[in-house]
Chain A
Amino acid sequence: MLVLITFIPLIGAIITMLARKDDHRGIEFVGMVTSIITLVLSLVLLGGFDGDYGSMKFVIRHEWVSELGIEFHMGIDGISIWMILLTAFLTPICIFYSGGSIKNSFREFVAMLLFLETSMIGVFASIDMILFFVFWEAVLIPMYFLIGVWGSDRRTYSAMKFIIYTMFGSVLMLVAILIIHQAGYGLGLRTFNMLEFPAIIQNAVAPRTAQILFWFFFLAFAIKVPIFPFHTWLPDAHTDAPTAGSVILAGVLLKMGTYGFLRFSLPIFPQESLDFALFISALGVVGIIYGAWVATMQPDMKRLVAYSSVSHLGLIVLGIFTFTIEGMTGGLLQMVNHGLSTGALFLIVGMLYERRHSKLIEQFGGVARVMPFFSACFIIIMLSSIGLPGLNGFVGEILVLLGSAKAAHLGLFKGASYVLTVLAASGVIWSAVYMLWTYQRVMQGPIKYEENKNLQDINAREKWTLIPIIVLCILIGIFPKFFTKPMEAPITKIIDKIHYEKPKLAMADDFPNIQFSYQMEKSGVDTD
């Protein structure tokens, strides 16, 4: 089943490559059908868990390189399923949208998107570390072409920067994987099974080495996320990528980094994660504020959304490194939310760009008058990104902040968490600043330029690209529990492995528990 979901898009990609070059409709049809089959099958997966989200399900295991214990080993739990669903959800939207906007070599474009989908799903479904790494790197090939061939402006520069930057992190991760694998020989294990890695680290690796290995992993994920000082590839890649490329990049590729923290860094290196959590959370918070401030000052809308990603991803990182169920659930949910809302924002910028061939904010103004439907979509998406109660962004943000506060309450970082929480909470304000200000300058006020008077409102195709996302945003906002419930079991499993002193453990019981937080969301909905 999992193999089907992973490789159906690849088969679709091969079929599209066999189509005639100018058969636009046929290519689009194949692309849509394969990606929708994938989506439906992944929904079936979600139903197939039978309530047990904590352990690996749908496991497939075959030998690949038996002398080294490399296996074709896949399986998913309550964390990966959401990432797979997000991927499977965004890909058809991208293909559908691009059907109207990509004119040159559409066949190759769809094939690349489908190839990308295969590798992304593979990343989220792999248990074997080498298999994971293969998919992780394979993502780079289609993305490289998407940016480099169909991008704008300095596309070749950005594509190269993207690939070199991310590979720098991942080669060191490969070295770390191999070192852990070799350490396993000492325990009589010859395996790349990620589920065995924690035991190897604990029993066969010196603490000092484990720290270095942790940083190797960290670097790979931090670049992918990107966490604050490693973010410089992101604005370039986003700005020059085609719209669909940006959507996938922001929607899924960045999540590969945070997913890596959740899936690998924390379970494999519980002690090291705890030791360095303060530093990493601080970087996350710096990212939140820095990203927001820089975003505010961007004249280019795509760059603005790119920097807002840096800000949002900082929040997710903070949530993950609180080691509380609220924070991590919130982080994971925020990964999905960010994928939806930022993906949609890129689509919106793309739609404006197609009409005016400009991404500069000052080229617009008063667009709401000529494009009313568009402006409604824009405002919903924007509010979801800011985190308005009732929409998805709110649930994720409040859970992360709650988790961070709880961690402070529990004595994590000796109370430094309080400061981090406060600073992170200010990010919500900053995001309101840049988002609302952008909306105001682009959509409201008088129409400054003659060209803008005749802009067409979005057509049916564009409407149907945005509507599914908006519906999902509202659904997550109203029924968050449906989405967070499956996440709890696997996350609890991760937290259980992380032991830190809880001096105020007695007081912790008084702390408003997770039930309370859901009530808060409900009440938020009511007052909205």
Chain B
Amino acid sequence: MIVSSLNILELLPEIVLLAFALIILCVDMVLKIENKKRLWDIAFAGLLIILVLIAKSFSGSWIAGGEAFHGQAITDGLTVFIRLIIVSALFITLILAVDWLNDKPNQIGIFAFLTMISSLGALVLSSAGDLLIMLIGLEILSVPLYILAGFQREKAEGREASFKYFILGSFASAFLALGIVLIFMETSTISLSQIKLSSLSGLPAGIPMKIGLALVIATFAFKGGLMPFYAWIPDVYTGSPDYVVGFMAAVAKVSVFAALIRIGVAFAPVAGSTLIGLLAFMFILTVILGNLMALWQDDVKRMLAYSSIAHAGYLLLGLMAFNQLGLSSIVFYLIIYSFAAIGSFALTGIVYQLRGDYNLNSFDGLHEHSPLLAVAMSIFMFTFAGIPPLAGFFSKMFLFNGAIDKGLSRYVVIASIASLIGVYYYLRVILRMYMKPLPEGAEIQKIEIPGFYTKTALFLASVLVIILGLVPGRFYDAAYLFLKTLFI
């Protein structure tokens, strides 16, 4: 009786994910080292089950949305989409890792476990129905990421990245807790729906709530890598393993923006102006400085790290608009960003293995070396730069459209000019690959890089980017439809 009122089945994908993560952890302990590769079978089987579950939820009845644990978890259209993005990002990351961990079989179990738990945290965060669940979700998301950042223990940069991320991240979580307390002081509730109800009554927000809200936003801005809380991103991303950075960037951004959407829904009526002011400030800083700083990087991995900051900036445009058009474009942007980020960071890793350097000139003449890698990288770069017919164009266009709908044309002009800077530094990579000769004396190594699984993952990511560019309508229309419930 009590159990059934919890609506626990609404969270079936999360439960399956947790179950498989735990199964992997347990099986890992009993397996002999030469059998550890079997763990991948378990992981992929689990992910396929979850994907099937998610696909089933793309039917009409889900648009209405639901809840579990008495409103502590919201399972509406947004949740469904975030699940889809995160689980597919996880899927591609795990495929990438198959080759990467080929000669370190005793790390397979822990890697799969950490990524799955981190995704679980992202799912909890993005479907949180109250502020404390958000805090919990954020922790479940972050702690595995701290470990993953230092996953290559032999690298000093990795250890540094992990430590830095951990210290700063803990700070941020503390701020979130403080913010929640301040909000609680004024509203006497931590439930987002309660806050929305009370804020609809028309009382203006007091000082504690404003400060609290600012702290909450700052925490998420930190996790999402928005200016002025971005400083950890370049170091942590550069130090983390190449095949994980894309996952870190994608999962953190997806869940953070989902959480920000939920916060926006609850607080917009009472503290709309505070929110808009904060977001606009961060938007201008992030979009302009993020792009400018990426421009100066000669290290491709660092450049991508800075550009991930800039992309988070564009996403803010959708939050500022906060209409159905803008929010559905955020969802659309996130899925494309996730695929392209995972793919491009993995490619920097491959190039590092080939040439031993992340520097821009290690991309020289890559297309002579490996045409397919060069094509894949070009697809990701053109996507990031927002040049049609690739999906990145549509994601930006939808965002701009949503913002203009809300009368934010000025910000759109800023964003579009800033994106031009992006065109320059992304195309610089392509230029290196196609228009510079292979460096003198760089003999083409005949190592089997990338392996079969890496190729598959890159292929999946780039094909998805192309397909979403050719038929953006299907996905965007669905997102638009599914996000309707947020505005009721």
A residues near B (Cβ < 8 Å) are 63-68, 70, 130, 133-135, 137-138, 140-141, 144-145, 148-149, 155-156, 159-160, 163-164, 167-168, 171-172, 174-175, 178-179, 181-182, 185
The answer to whether B405 touches A182, judged by C-beta atoms less than 8 angstroms apart, is: yes
**Which of A66, A130, A178 lies at the interface centre, i.e. has the most chain B CB atoms within 10 A of its CB?**
A178
Residues of B within 8 A of A130 (CB): 397
B477 touches A134 (CB 8 A): no
Our pick among B400, B404, B405, B434 for the contact of A148 (Cβ within 8 Å) is: B434
Q: How many residues of B contact A (CB 8 A)?
A: 37
User: Considering the chains assembled together, what is the distance between the CA atoms of A66 and B471 in angstroms?
Assistant: 11
B476 contacts A65, C-beta separation under 8 Å: yes
Q: CA–CA, A334 to B27, complex, Å? A: 76
Chain A: which residue is nearest B475 at the CB level?
A65
> A15–B261 Cα gap in the complex (Å)?
46
Task: Choose among B401, B412, B423, B473 the residue that contacts A167 (Cβ–Cβ < 8 A).
Answer: B423
B413 in contact with A149 (CB, 8 Å): no
> Which residues on A sit within 8 Å (CB–CB) of B480?
67
- A185 contacts B405, CB within 8 Å? yes
Interface status of B71 (Cβ within 8 A of chain A): no
Considering only CB atoms, which chain B residue lies closest to A150 in the complex? B435
Which residues of A are found within 8 Å of B387, using beta-carbon distances? Answer: 137-138, 140-141, 167
**Do B389 and A138 have beta carbons less than 8 Å apart?**
yes
A133 close to B388 (CB less than 8 A):
yes
B388 touches A179 (CB 8 A): no
From the candidates A64, A134, A171, A185, name the one contacting B419 in the complex (CB within 8 A).
A171
* B427–A175 CB distance below 8 A: no
Excluding A171-B419, A179-B409, A181-B404, 9 further A-B contacts by CB distance (< 8 Å) are A67-B325, A68-B401, A68-B476, A155-B435, A156-B436, A160-B424, A167-B423, A182-B401, A182-B404
CB contact between A160 and one of B404, B431, B476, B481 (< 8 Å): that residue: B431
Would you call A168 and B420 a contact (CB within 8 A)? yes
Known: A65-B473, A70-B473. A172 touches B416 (CB 8 A): yes
Bound complex: CA A174 to CA B472 (Å): 17
B393 within 8 A of A: yes
Q: Report A329 CB to chain B, min CB distance, Å.
A: 32
In the complex, what's the smallest C-beta–C-beta distance from B310 to chain A, in angstroms? 15
How many angstroms from the CA of A159 to the CA of B436 in the assembled complex? 13
Q: Would you call the interface of chain B mostly helix, strand, loop, or mixed? A: helix
For residue A416, give the distance in angstroms from its CB to the closest CB of chain B: 33
- B175 CB within 8 Å of chain A: no
Q: How far is the CA of A111 from the CA of B58 in the complex (A)?
A: 39
Residue B48, interface by CB 8 Å = no
Cβ of B29 within 8 Å of any chain A Cβ, yes or no, is no
What is the bound-complex CA distance between A171 and B424, given in angstroms?
A: 14
CB of A174 within 8 A of CB of B416, answer yes
Complex interface: chain A residues within 8 A of B382 (CB): 141
Task: Determine the chain B residues whose CB is within 8 A of the CB of A185 once the complex forms.
Answer: 405
| Chain B residues numbered 154-193 whose CB sits less than 8 Å from any CB in chain A | none
- A133, A141, A168, A185: which has the most chain B beta carbons within 10 Å? A141
Is B435 within 8 A of A67, CB to CB? no
Bound-complex Cα distance A138 to B393 (A): 10
Decide: A134 near B393, CB < 8 A? Known: A65-B476, A67-B476.
yes
> Which chain A residues border B398 with CB–CB below 8 Å?
68
Is the Cβ of B477 less than 8 Å from the Cβ of A67?
A: yes
B200 contacts the other chain (CB 8 A): no
Q: Please determine whether B424 and A137 come into contact, CB atoms closer than 8 angstroms.
A: no
Question: How distant is the Cα of A155 from the Cα of B431 in the complex, in angstroms?
Answer: 10
Contacts A138-B389, A167-B420 hold; do A175 and B400 have CB atoms under 8 A apart? Answer: yes
Distance of A512 from chain B, by nearest CB (Å): 47
Residue among B398, B419, B434 with the highest chain A CB neighbour number at 10 A: B434
Q: B467 in the interface, Cβ–Cβ < 8 Å?
A: no
Residues on A with beta carbons closer than 8 Å to the beta carbon of B423: 163-164, 167
Assuming A134-B389, A160-B424, is B404 touching A178 (CB within 8 A)?
yes
Contact B393 A175 (CB under 8 A): no
Chain A residues within an 8 Å CB radius of B389: 134, 138
Q: A137-B387, A182-B404 are in contact. Are A175 and B435 (CB under 8 A)?
A: no
Would you call A181 and B401 a contact (CB within 8 A)?
A: yes
Note all chain A residues with C-beta closer than 8 A to B473: 63-67, 70
- CB-based contact B388/A138 at 8 Å: yes
CB-CB < 8 A to A63: which residues of B?
A: 473
Q: Is B417 located at the chain interface by the 8 A CB criterion?
A: yes
Cβ B413 vs Cβ A175 within 8 A = yes
A178 and B427 contacting across the interface, CB-CB below 8 Å: no
Give 1 or 0 for each of B390-403: 1 = CB within 8 Å of chain A CB: 00011001101100
- Ordered by A's residue number, 10 sampled pairs between the chains whose C-beta atoms are within 8 Å are A67-B480, A67-B481, A68-B401, A133-B388, A148-B431, A160-B428, A167-B387, A171-B416, A178-B397, A178-B401
Contacts of A135 in B (CB 8 A): 388
B417 touches A174 (CB 8 A): no
Q: Are A134 and B388 CB-contacts (below 8 A) given A63-B473, A66-B477?
A: yes
Q: Hey, which chain A residues are within 8 Å of B417, CB to CB?
A: 168, 171
Q: B341 CB to closest chain A CB, in angstroms?
A: 21
Pick the most buried of B387, B398, B424: most chain A CB atoms within 10 A of its CB.
B387
Chain A min CB distance to B392 (Å): 11
* Residue in B397, B419, B481 whose Cβ sees the most chain A Cβ within 10 Å: B397
A186 CA to B192 CA, complexed, in Å: 33
Please tell me if the beta carbons of B435 and A159 are within 8 angstroms of each other in the complex: yes
Nearest to A212 among chain B residues (CB) is B409
Interface centre among A149, A156, A163, A171 (most CB of B within 10 A): A171
**A-B CB proximity, top 8 nearest:** A65-B473, A171-B416, A134-B388, A67-B480, A148-B435, A137-B388, A178-B404, A67-B477
Measured between alpha carbons, how far is A130 from B472 in the docked complex, in Å?
12
- Contact of A156 with B431 in the complex, beta carbons under 8 Å: yes
For residue B416, which residues in chain A have a CB less than 8 angstroms away from its CB?
Answer: 171-172, 174-175
Q: Give chain B residues whose Cβ lies under 8 Å from the Cβ of A171.
A: 416-417, 419-420
Bound CA–CA A155/B325 (angstroms): 41
Contacts of A137 in B (CB 8 A): 387-388, 393
Query: CA of A167 to CA of B436 in the docked complex: distance in angstroms?
Result: 23
Tell me, in angstroms, the Cα distance from A156 to B420 when the chains sit together: 17
Q: How far is the CA of A49 from the CA of B473 in the complex (A)?
A: 32
